[in-house]
Structure 1
Amino acid sequence: MPSPSATPATDPDAPNVRSVVGRYRRAERAASWTLALIAVGAFLAAVAALSFWPGAAVGAVLLVALRVPLFRRRGSTRLRTDATPEAVVREFATATPPILAFQWVVADEVRRDGATDPTDSVGEDASGADATYEFSYLFGLKTVELDLAVDVAEGDLLAGDSGTDESESASDRPPVATVDIEGTAGGEPWGSYAVAVREAPDGGSVVDVELRPTRRFGLRRLPQGWAAERYYAEALAAQGYETVERTVSVTR
């Protein structure tokens, strides 16, 4: 795993990031096809054992079970980077935040809706760069848009202020800033993240990311979640962030 960079960059064309996302996509497709084949196999087995119409009823139940939204995901992640807190805040406040690499790398188009300049320093603008990610499916016959709203709130202390106690742990220090990232698709909640950026006691930054459980999903999305967890740390490392700890749970 590459060591964190002092100047991480969320560049959709960065080869390391694209390579990790490419492996994620292959794993996600393989897992999704495996789940689909298992469902088809169960349907055929039911038809063979029970005759066609009872088997078709079993198939309908399987289809509903795969699609009905029953579960929510919540979790927390701590990241570490050598970059300054101000640089990290600017990066998370762009239209391509590091934690959404699986989305903005894959998207057919990323439209930046906000006017915030990512080179601005913390505190000059209280809003981030909103964006719309456009994805096409079925050979371009179906298009889905993911709308991203990014808000930045400056913390009590800026990095380097005299009030910072070097003996404090990263968790005890007030955040330099917090970044709220809200995603919606088709007018429905897609994802919500709260990002707190702190100055690390030994230099660099500590980033705490909270995944809020705003959306329900069905069993058919489990392969996607499995693949994302498999490559999450690699995708962040390719952008200069070390995953120190991460917990994710699935609840009703």
Structure 2
Amino acid sequence: MPSTRQDVDRPSDAVAVANRYLRRERPLSALVALIVVAIFVGTFLATSLVPALVIGAALVLLTRAPIIRSRGSVRLQTDADVESVVDSFTGATPPVLAFQWGIADRISTEDGRVRYHISYLFGLRSVAVTVETETETAANGTQHLELTVTANERPWSTYAVRISRTADRTVIEYEYEADRRFGLRRIPQRLVAVRYRDEALSAQGYTVVDRDEHFGV
């Protein structure tokens, strides 16, 4: 029988940041849909139904077409020891996924996998974000982790994490890459995430030392 747990303790400060992110992201994402509707209605009033349908369909395709991909590398540091950092990255609430577990309706763990159940559109739609983690210890003691993230069983992103100890700090370096492309409608979500991501890490005791990223086609 597989074991399942749903009693996950989430860092409260990071959850507060994630909720602020959500309160700003959802209205902006809804605004994209409203703009499409407004253009459709405006075209219909100015011309006729057929041109409006053509324009509306083109806008929907444009906003949903998978043309954008993200990747990057980040360097963090913390006062926590290596073991504690490894536990946080391999546990139910990896620091880099605060905007997933922080807004989840519930979190379940089963057979080494963590799943975040997230609803939106007033509960009419939902997504299950699943995280699987692999770990390896190098000869010099450096910890190597790989977090594979899927959404409704479809590839989402991969994080390659390296954790090591300096004289007085633990250093975390990770590279991330989206495993699929996204439409332009994701841009508002991205902009809000940029605003709050470092704050979410800081709330968990991590300082962002360096960040290099690419977001585009």
Partner in structure 2 of residue 188 of structure 1 = 154
In structure 1, distance between residues paired with 2:105 and 2:140: 39
Partner in structure 2 of residue 208 of structure 1 = 173
Can you list the C-alpha shifts for 1:60-93, whole angstroms capped at 9, x where unaligned? Answer: 1101111121111111111110111222112111
Q: Report the secondary structure of 1:246's partner residue.
A: strand
TM-score, normalised via structure 1 length: 0.77
After superposition, the CA RMSD in angstroms is 1.8
Contact 2:156-2:178 within 8 A present in 1 as well: no
Q: CA deviation at 1:244?
A: 1.1
Give matches, 1:7-18, under 5 Å. 11-12=9-10, 14-18=11-15
Q: Which has the larger radius of gyration?
A: 1
Partner in structure 1 of residue 35 of structure 2 = 38
In structure 2, list runs of 5 or more residues that go unmatched. 1-7
Partner in structure 1 of residue 165 of structure 2 = 199
Q: Report the secondary structure of 1:239's partner residue.
A: coil
In structure 2, distance between residues paired with 1:152 and 1:30: 38
In structure 1, distance between residues paired with 2:188 and 2:9: 26
In structure 2, distance between residues paired with 1:216 and 1:37: 23
Aligned mate of 1:49, from 46, 49, 68: 46
Q: Report the secondary structure of 1:217's partner residue.
A: coil
Partner in structure 1 of residue 129 of structure 2 = 146
In structure 2, distance between residues paired with 1:39 and 1:56: 11
Provide the aligned length of Structure 1 versus Structure 2.
Answer: 210
Q: Report the secondary structure of 1:95's partner residue.
A: coil
Contact 1:94-1:130 within 8 A present in 2 as well: no
* Greater fraction of residues in helix: 2
Aligned mate of 1:93, from 90, 98, 110: 90
Q: CA deviation at 1:245?
A: 1.5
Give matches, 1:90-129, under 5 Å. 90-114=87-111, 129=112
Q: Does 1:21 align with 2:11?
A: no
4+ aligned runs moved over 6 Å, structure 1: none
Partner in structure 1 of residue 114 of structure 2 = 131
In structure 1, list runs of 5 or more residues that go unmatched. 1-9, 115-128, 159-175
More displaced stretch, 70-79 vs 133-142: 133-142
Contact 2:146-2:158 within 8 A present in 1 as well: yes
In structure 1, distance between residues paired with 2:124 and 2:43: 33
Q: Report the secondary structure of 2:66's partner residue.
A: coil
